[in-house]
Amino acid sequence: MDLENKIRSIHILLQNKKFLQAKEALDKLLNKIPDNSYLQNLRGLTSQYLDDYKSAINFFNQALKYDEKNTAAMNNLANSHKRLLNYIEAEKLYKKILSIDHNHVHALNNYANLKIEINDYKDAIPLLEKAILISNQRNNKALDIMLSLASVYQSIDKIEKVKGILNEVFLVKPKLAQAHKMLSEITKYSSDNPKSLSHIDQMKDIIEDQDENEHDKAILSFALGKSLEDLKKHDESFNYLKLANDLKKKSINSNLKEEISIFQDLIKKFENIEIKRINKGPEPKKIIFVCGMPRSGTTLIEQILSSHPKVYGAGELLYLENTIKNNFFEDNKINKQKIIDLKSSSTNKILSDYLKFFEIYNFSESVIIDKTPQNFKWLGFIKIFFPGSKIIICQRNPKDNCVSLFKNNFASSMMNWAFDQEEIAEYYNEYYKFISFWKDKIPKDIYELNYERLIEDDKGEIDKLLEFCNLDLSEKCYNFTKFSKTPIKTVSVSQANKPIYKDSINSFDPYKNHLQKMLKKLSII
């Protein structure tokens, strides 16, 4: 078989997600012709597909060694660096590609996505607009970029811009599930709005189409769950939410056991360890960690605090989780000796590296918010790494919290337990025990913010929150929808741009007859 046919067969393997077979075939070829830039790039892509980004970087560098103007390899290299949160290196590469080829669509789109990750929406928008203009054929890639731009406008509450883009998308692909989902998020469905009712019928028709895949049906079913809830049709809403969750369960592997194992292992390892700071001088910036169960109010708290003139909301960051797992985990277990070694360390490299991570961000505020809900898992590490930090744990009525999880489509693989009633309840039970352990261990270091109390007395609770964070009172925090400087990139986007409202309290009640499995399993009610 000649080289061209061998490459074609490898592409077929990749298309069929047979990555290990593709890897083996490419390794054989590279043993014979290591100086082939195209093959080195293809081998790097294979490593990317296998989530081995460090290996991928090596292959892409080899590809560029043999062809320094291989922009495909350069783009893939940048993507790998971005995936490893090496943002500065990734940005350099995207700029280099665009200096070679101003119209490189993939680089424009990927660079824009990097800008979005660091909250630089001002620079992201023109990059996306140019990529769309170049991709005027309106293929699937172009539509994806258009949806990215719509998502940006949604995050900064430019709803008319979102509608305009979605209308363009529907002209090309009227059944596109992701577009319908976005439209459902920005629409208030009511009997007085015939257009909204028509959209519900349209989504139902698409779901009933046998040609639609289960992934898209799940997206549309979540959207219908929200739409029908707006109309107070809770029984019908639940039917679609159940369908959505059932479809999601079929396509993923639950990680509940792994997560619970981590909780239990962390308690075991930290139980007899005195939490002692690494005292190595002043921290150049203060950090506020806002965490808790997903859907417990973490986004709302970030919006309130980031309205303060001294505070910058960085959003949800993977940096801490990646750092801890890369440095302190072995076979999904914590290495206790490494924690002990850390406590006696003469340097606090974790803190310095964490702050260095923000060098690419454009902000001048002296206080940073890391609003990653599941950072609650790393409370022990946080107190060692960031001794001067503030920790806020958001707590919400467990039933309301759990039903909110059931109503949302989470993309993160860390949330693969969130599509089953009983697994949601079991996760919450273990979370509660885990937080109770830390409240007992470091009681003075945790501020527990109750979502319901905040809703009932927003000014009083905001004042207490600011006092805990050692921040001056600011009127801007009471009017956070106007003054918040943080775009919203999570499933909370449709709610968090609104003033504080009471509709989310007792949101479980309309669904309680349908959620008996969850209720029976939930020990904290």
Residue 386 C-beta-side C-alpha neighbours within 13 Å: 25
Q: Along the 525 residues of the chain, how does pLDDT read in single tens digits?
A: 688 898 999 999 999 999 999 999 999 999 999 999 999 999 999 999 999 999 999 999 999 999 999 999 999 999 999 999 999 999 999 999 999 999 999 999 999 999 999 999 999 999 999 999 998 766 778 999 999 999 999 999 999 999 999 999 999 999 999 999 999 999 999 999 999 999 999 999 999 987 779 999 999 999 999 999 999 999 999 999 999 999 999 999 999 999 999 999 999 999 988 876 655 555 667 999 999 999 999 999 999 999 999 999 999 998 899 889 888 888 878 888 887 777 666 667 788 888 888 889 989 999 999 999 999 999 999 988 888 899 999 999 999 999 999 999 998 888 999 999 999 999 999 999 999 999 999 999 999 999 999 999 999 999 999 999 999 999 999 999 888 877 876 655 555 556 666 778 899 999 999 999 999 999 876
Are 144 and 137 in contact, with CB atoms under 8 Å apart? no
Classify 167 as helix, strand or coil.
helix
Does the reported pTM lie above 0.85?
yes
- Measured distance CA(6)–CA(24) in Å, rounded: 12
Q: Which residue has the tokens 């054989």?
A: 28
Q: Which domains does the chain have, with CATH numbers?
A: 175-251 (no CATH), 282-521 (3.40.50.300)
Q: Which residues, 6 or more positions from 218, have their beta carbon under 8 angstroms from its beta carbon?
A: 243, 244, 247, 248, 251, 409
Strands 367-370 and 286-292: parallel
Task: Report d(CA 298, CA 317) in Å as an integer.
Answer: 13
Whole-number CA gyration radius for the chain: 24
SS3 of 218, please?
helix
Contact 54, 84 (CB under 8 A): yes
